[in-house]
Amino acid sequence: MTTPTSAASPATARVLLVEDNELVRDSMSELIEAFGHSIRCAPDAESALQMLAQDGGAVDVMISDLSLPKMSGLDLTRQVHEQYPQIRLVLATGYGSLIDAGRLGFEILVMPKPIDIDRLADYLDEVAAARAAG
């Protein structure tokens, strides 16, 4: 497991977490910060798209829940991929086995819930290292 210290990963990933469940959003946010990455949170797809538009897509990774109000996480990831192809995408879902990431037409990491924290930490560290390498 990656240890939650900045010494373990000097590079940071800029993460946008889209989760409508406040308890899950707060818990995930705390974990991502503990792993040394910067985090912004949105409660729904519309808010996430507004945040991305305001900062010109200055995010390395967007983690979205599949089940969101109004627009699904899958539709959100499609739209973000079209508008901001540089952003890496993670779809968190309790229905992971029903989503074939290879058939979506773009690269996305589907993570079943409950999220494997070690896997998420390693993934964010990889993204941060790639960002630092340029």
Q: Which domains does the chain have, with CATH numbers?
A: 14-133 (3.40.50.2300)
Q: Computed from CA positions of residues 109, 113, 119, 123, in that sequence, does the dihedral angle turn out positive or negative?
A: positive
Q: What pLDDT, in 10s, does the model give residues 83-99? A: 999 999 999 988 655 56
pLDDT of residue 106: 74
Phi, psi angle pair for 65, to nearest 5°: -70, 150
**Per-block average pLDDT, block size 10, for the chain (134 residues)?**
46 96 96 96 98 94 95 94 95 70 73 91 94 86
**Distance (Å, whole) CA 73 – CA 23:** 18
Residue 107 identity: E
pTM over 0.85: yes
